[in-house]
Amino acid sequence: MPLHPVHAPEGRDTPLPIGGTHRVNGHAMKPPWPEGMQEIVLGMGCFWGAEQLFWQLPGVHVTAAGYAGGVTPNPTYDETCSGRTGHAEVVRVVFDPRVTDLETLLRVFWEAHDPTQGNRQGNDIGTQYRSIILTTTDGQRQAAESSREAYGEALSRSGKRPVTTEIEPLEAFYYAEEYHQQYLEKHPGGYCGLKGTGVSCPIG
């Protein structure tokens, strides 16, 4: 959860430098996006595997690893991992709603991780690994909340714990360092912490 600014690292005014071109599809990593694109930001544990999951989906224009949901501007990885920035590791997903719909992205999100674990995903422990959806429109917020309720009911029927996923409006997305961008494309076979519950999400 976001901390009081007095306890958080000061951060910096300048974004962390990134290459600017997506290593997999060659699209620009920074806005402006092509006309008609929409954006949602998703946190589901370590962002390496999460980013790969979404860049592989049809209709996803570009992805980026970053930090969001906290208070420190332009935090570093070390600052985020300290737990003092309040940020989660997240993936910016820019998608074409004419090719894929939000419900499909949300279903992938819910099924690819365990949203009942609070501030962890498996062996990755800390507030930076919490499950979070950061929305950019009221429609996204409503869809996210409906999907959370639907998946929570499905999990409950399977004997799972309650969903802990936060849903908030996106205030700021900060790019992670260049070495985190498309990490699993640069390091095939690298660490991927994604592990779902095995319960299907009844949306989309």
Per DSSP, the residues of 167-197 read EEE---EEEPPGGGTTHHHHSTT--------
Backbone phi, psi, residue 173, to 5°: -110, 130
* Residue carrying structure tokens 């917020």: 141
Residues 6+ apart with CB under 8 A from 97: 36, 38, 59
Do 50 and 184 contact (CB within 8 A), yes or no? no
Identity of the residue numbered 22: H
Instruction: Return d(Cα 5, Cα 31) in angstroms, integer.
Output: 28
DSSP β-bridge partners for residue 89: 67
SS3 47: helix
Largest CA-CA distance found in the chain, in angstroms, rounded? 47
**Active centre residues (catalytic):** 46
In which residue are the tokens 């996210």 written? Answer: 144
